[in-house]
Amino acid sequence: MQLTIKAEGEHVNVLSHLLAKNPYRLYERDVNGHLVRLFFSHFSTNFVEVTIFVTPDPIELSRNSARSFDITSYINDREFAVSSIFCTFLRSALGTALNGKPKDPYLPWVDHPFSFEFSFGPLASATSLSLLKRLFEPIGFSVSTHFAEQKAPLTIKEKSSAQMITLKGRTTLQTGIRQLFVLIPVLDDYKHYFIDEKEIDKMKRYGEGWLDDHPERAYIYEKALRFKAIYDHTQQKGDQPIKETVIRLNDRRYETIIQKVSDLEKKASVVDLGSGEGKLTVKLGYVKGIKELLAVEPSEMAMTRALRQFTKRTQESDFLQPTPIRSSLFYYDNRLQNKDVIILCEVIEHIEEYRLPKMMKMILTNYRPHTLFISTPNYEYNQLYNMGDGYRHSDHRFEWTRDQFQTWCKENNTGFYDLTFTGIGEEHEQFGHPTQLCHFQRKETD
């Protein structure tokens, strides 16, 4: 995947300073196992051509360490196509240009417009030329596309589904790069991670000076943030309250569970089952009344990261150091028996459905906690993220509607627990909450 920048006219050689790159050297960096190269194929006073090219490691993309890129399989075209993933590499290579902070003698050139041609791709997207024009023409670019011909001996179709996009217009380097940084994710049909405040801040920062007046502003917010409530709100009230409309779902989820645990009379012993990197466990460590806190996780990598978080708080007197346990959800572990609270926070959707009844039987029959909390995504709410039939994370084996989740909880209840269903996150009148929670409370007569 690549981005090529061409500029013509007087003094275009100053772009090397705005990019903070030596035109006579190859820039090469490793970003999470992926090789990022930047090189000048032509450099003179009147003409500059520079290309940012990424050679991904497809095996690295399939590992846990690359999950930030939201890819789990390297047998696809994603690692070769310009996408929202590509913006991560752009930010590492073009940080000086994005932020407009070259060395002091070149600061006046940050606001100087040049005649640019930006070519990027291949773009694996169903975006039409008509839509591309609606996105780029209002900000001063002409648009053209090119589909590569298939060269494979077994031709399934004449043209590739991936296209190259070329933009031409007069703008500053910083503005042009920022516009690409915002609009490439809009073109990417694959991006679907949940929006948080960092994403909103990025949109506001890189969209400053052009996005507010864009005729497709609502569509850009909808597609880039994948959160319909945000762009609806921007239409109603303008720019001011965007950040206020979104509370990070992870934080809301943790806060809700922490509050529910805090409200329990019996909470001396708590198990975070499937604790991952320990984000919830750390918060539980500050809850008064907990005297034993077990962080149970089968992944060695995740447990190692969790231990770093626990160790950072060793000297805090009000923090209860968790006990890390390497264990599986599917094999009996007597260390988890008869605890006050067991928590499964966003865990079950990562497990094949047919394996869940065995897990539930072990928890409710063998471990017999006084309280069990289970949270999982509400599939109905995905419609607000414009995800189609997709799941919120590529590692999810399923996502349930509210009826499906409640039916499953009731079917797997041993009869010794009362069930209470609640939602977490901003409620929608039709689709409910983004996260659903079941509270299993053991009956006193048990």
User: Domain ends where: 176, 193, 210?
Assistant: 193
Angle between helices 173-187 and 129-136 (to 10 degrees): 140
Based on the fold, state whether residues 42 and 183 are members of the same structural domain.
yes
Long-range contacts: 380-384, Cβ < 8 Å, 24+?
Answer: 380/430, 380/431, 380/432, 381/425, 381/428, 381/431, 381/432, 381/433, 381/434, 383/228, 383/431, 384/227, 384/228, 384/229, 384/428, 384/431, 384/434
Residue found under tokens 């572990």:
333
| Adjacent-strand bridge partners of 345 | 375
The rounded mean pLDDT for the chain is: 82
CATH of the domain at 138: 3.30.1610.20
Q: Report if residue 327 sits inside a domain.
A: yes
Residues 6+ apart with CB under 8 A from 304: none
User: Domain ends where: 126, 160, 193?
Assistant: 193
Q: How far apart are CA 196 and CA 178, in angstroms?
A: 19
pTM > 0.85: no
Q: Which residues constitute the domain of residue 431?
A: 249-442
Q: Report if residue 205 sits inside a domain.
A: no
pLDDT band for position 82 (cuts 50, 70, 90): low
pLDDT band for position 242 (cuts 50, 70, 90): very low
Q: Report if residue 370 sits inside a domain.
A: yes
Six token digits for residue 37: 């190269």
Based on the fold, state whether residues 85 and 189 are members of the same structural domain.
yes
Q: Report if residue 106 sits inside a domain.
A: yes
pLDDT band for position 306 (cuts 50, 70, 90): very high
- Residue 124: predicted pLDDT: 65
Six token digits for residue 296: 């149970």
Based on the fold, state whether residues 172 and 255 are members of the same structural domain.
no
CATH of the domain at 283: 3.40.50.150
**Which stretch of 62-71, 172-181, 240-249 has the lowest confidence by average pLDDT?**
62-71
Residues 6+ apart with CB under 8 A from 143: 129, 132, 133, 136, 137, 165, 166, 167
Based on the fold, state whether residues 265 and 152 are members of the same structural domain.
no
Q: Report if residue 355 sits inside a domain.
A: yes
Based on the fold, state whether residues 42 and 145 are members of the same structural domain.
yes
- Residue 185: predicted pLDDT: 81
What domain count does the chain have? 2
Based on the fold, state whether residues 189 and 258 are members of the same structural domain.
no
Q: Report if residue 242 sits inside a domain.
A: no
